Amino acid sequence: MKIICIGRNYIDHAKELNNPVPKKPVFFLKPDTALVKDNKPFFYPDFSEDVHYECEIVVHINRVGKNIAAKFAHRYYDEIGIGIDFTARDLQQECKTKGLPWEVAKAFDNSAPIGKFLPKSRFADINNINFSLDINGKTVQQGNTASMIFKIDELIAYTSRFMTLKMGDLLFTGTPAGVGPVKIGDRLIASMEGEELLNFMVK
Ligand code: ZN
């Protein structure tokens, strides 16, 4: 499986990192070795001194599809979850400055913890889901999928022009404002519509 991640999909987050608001989706990949499941801890990597959390809504693909039209995109996913796109911000800044690819900053082992998924039928409107991230009991990110620049169905249409989506693939849909560093000992809890779906420690 592959993990497709969208960058800069919320205006407030693009602005906080001084990035332009994109005219088409920006995406990158993480390998399956990035996944962390079952609330297992995230081990702080030794190659970065500035690992940031990015809390994101995650879409589970359940059919093979290529060149999917946005109006049919809803047929290609069955579950919605929440995850963290861990980013080595110091390495990413170096990549950006030099115009290099982002893999060292984004695709490292354990950089994609994911929580419990819920059937999409649980949600009256996919484009109106509240989600949040708490660290050590304090809310650090709050978002709603209504604020996405490109909605979930548009992201599926766009990314599937370039790569075939397969059953089991995951789509990280971008992070709202409020990203920041984690440190060893932090506890991260991510929720959708007030329901806790991911809860793990940084070790
Ligand atoms: Zn992200």
Instruction: Report pLDDT digits (tens) over 114-131.
Output: 999 999 999 999 999 999
* pLDDT attached to residue 79: 98
- Structure confidence at residue 71 (pLDDT): 98
State in Å: Cα 67 to ligand 1 middle: 23
The rounded Å distance from CA 71 to ligand 1 centre is 25
Question: 70 alpha carbon to ligand 1 midpoint, in Å?
Answer: 22
CA of 65 to the centre of ligand 1 (A): 23
- Which pLDDT score, from 0 to 100, does residue 22 have? 84
Instruction: Say what the pLDDT of residue 31 is.
Output: 98
Quote the CA–CA distance of 94 and 102 in Å, as a whole number: 9
Average pLDDT of the residues in 78-98: 97
Compute, in angstroms, the gap from residue 25 CA to the centroid of ligand 1: 12
CATH number of the domain encompassing residue 108: 3.90.850.10
Domain count within the chain: 1
Q: Which domain does 86 fall in, by range?
A: 3-201
- The pLDDT value recorded for residue 37 is 98
Cα 68 to ligand 1 centre (Å): 23
> Whole-model pTM above 0.85?
yes
Q: How far is the CA of 88 from the centre of ligand 1 (A)?
A: 11
